[in-house]
Amino acid sequence: MTLLSVQGVTRRFGDVTALDDVTLDIAPGEFFALLGPSGCGKTTLLRILAGFERPDSGGVTLDGSDLLALPAHRSPVNLMFQSYALFPHMTVEKNIAYGLAREGLPKPEIRTRVTEVLETIGLSGAARRRPHQLSGGQRQRVALARAIVKRPRLLLLDEPLSALDKKVRAEMQLELKRLQHEVGITFVVVTHDQEEAMSLADRIAVFNAGRIEQIDPPVPLYERPRTRFVADFVGANNLLDGTVREQGFEVSGVGLLPCETGVGTGGKALLAIRPENITLAEDGPLTGTVIDISFYGGRSQLAVAVPGLPRPVAVTASGALTATPGSTVRLTWPPDRAVLIPEESAA
């Protein structure tokens, strides 16, 4: 079942194509992320969904009805701004009630809805405070409450956690997931933070230069990237160019490396190997020199220079390692943990 359907949406600004034939479907109750670097088109799509932009071509439907035919103030879609945009002179409860009052709802219903949503976000005791008396995380919750109190069919969030420090951001990621499940509203979040997208979303659309490169749940997206851009943008990766052979993957000047070849024998391709899938071994297809080790308590990160490769190989291992900078190590990985990306997708 589909709640929101975006079909062939294109948006240009002069010579710049912000969105290029974008198509995607979002299910009811889904937490969907639009992920990509700055300027990739994700915010333009969000503004089209919110009614602030018009596409040059394509359509958008919500529950089968033309969403683009509605003015922004009548749309069953709410947008939570990156800046939160709280009114500094109003209390928390008046900030939350503002949109309902503008719609002319009866005061008893407004009070009931505001009380309910304050309990949901855990700020019942802060109803009479003003925004400057709240922490960053609390202000974020008030902005979210103001959006969900109107009970929209779809809630759009533009970089909702970017203004928070790392610890508060991690807490609010859990809070957003809890609230989304509790209120049952479909969420679409725009972010350039891959960890944020992976931790929040049921599915992620990765944008690049106005196009969608891949749509998948977080685990398949991470473990099986389908293009060079996704393999490079989502998480750390070792990317090697070479040729697919029946026995493995051949890298010029290095040799034959283990992978599941499947199809495309004889063709150019990209081999992507996550650092955590590479291990130090007595025997392995790659031999190199450790040039750097970083210890992060529960894990260590190594950079290994391998003759014939243009960049050091990144390795992530559990705990501390006995290897030292300058030592020679051999590297290996399970063939099924190396992902082959055909040349046409790797371009």
* 223, 255, 281 - which closes a domain: 223
Closest CA to 143 of 87, 73, 77: 87
Looking at the fold, whether 205 and 122 belong to one and the same domain comes out as yes
Looking at the fold, whether 281 and 328 belong to one and the same domain comes out as yes
Q: What is the pLDDT of residue 164?
A: 66
- Examine the pLDDT at 165 and tell me if it is beyond 90: no
CA distance 80 to 339: 37
Over residues 319-331, the mean pLDDT reads 90
| Span of 74-83, 223-232, 237-246 with lowest mean pLDDT | 74-83
Q: Is residue 228 in a domain?
A: no
H-state helical runs in 126-212: 136-148, 166-183, 194-200
Q: Domain containing 273 — which CATH number?
A: 2.40.50.140
Q: Is residue 81 in a domain?
A: yes
Burial 94-133 (b: 16+ CB within 10 A, else e): ebbbbbbeeeeeeeeebeebbeebbebbebeebeeebbee
Q: Is residue 281 in a domain?
A: yes
The count of domains in the chain is 2
- Examine the pLDDT at 218 and tell me if it is beyond 70: yes
Looking at the fold, whether 263 and 295 belong to one and the same domain comes out as yes
**Cβ contacts of residue 301 below 8 Å, gap of 6+?**
275, 293, 294, 314, 315, 316, 317
Q: Domain containing 170 — which CATH number?
A: 3.40.50.300
Looking at the fold, whether 295 and 203 belong to one and the same domain comes out as no
* 197, 223, 249 - which closes a domain: 223
Looking at the fold, whether 157 and 240 belong to one and the same domain comes out as no
Q: How far is CA 190 from the centre of its chain?
A: 7
Mean pLDDT of the chain: 90
Q: Is residue 53 in a domain?
A: yes
Looking at the fold, whether 203 and 325 belong to one and the same domain comes out as no
pLDDT digits (tens, 9 = 90+) for 231-260: 999 999 999 999 999 889 999 999 999 998
Using pLDDT thresholds of 50, 70 and 90, give the confidence band for residue 30: very high
pLDDT digits (tens, 9 = 90+) for 101-136: 888 899 999 999 999 888 887 888 888 999 989 887
Looking at the fold, whether 183 and 276 belong to one and the same domain comes out as no
Looking at the fold, whether 32 and 86 belong to one and the same domain comes out as yes
Looking at the fold, whether 190 and 240 belong to one and the same domain comes out as no
Q: Is residue 98 in a domain?
A: yes
Looking at the fold, whether 19 and 163 belong to one and the same domain comes out as yes
- Which range marks the domain in which residue 9 is found? 4-223
Over residues 260-266, the mean pLDDT reads 76
- Examine the pLDDT at 99 and tell me if it is beyond 70: yes
Q: What is the pLDDT of residue 225?
A: 96
Over residues 315-340, the mean pLDDT reads 92
Q: Is residue 73 in a domain?
A: yes
Looking at the fold, whether 215 and 250 belong to one and the same domain comes out as no
Looking at the fold, whether 8 and 105 belong to one and the same domain comes out as yes
Q: Is residue 84 in a domain?
A: yes
Q: Is residue 154 in a domain?
A: yes
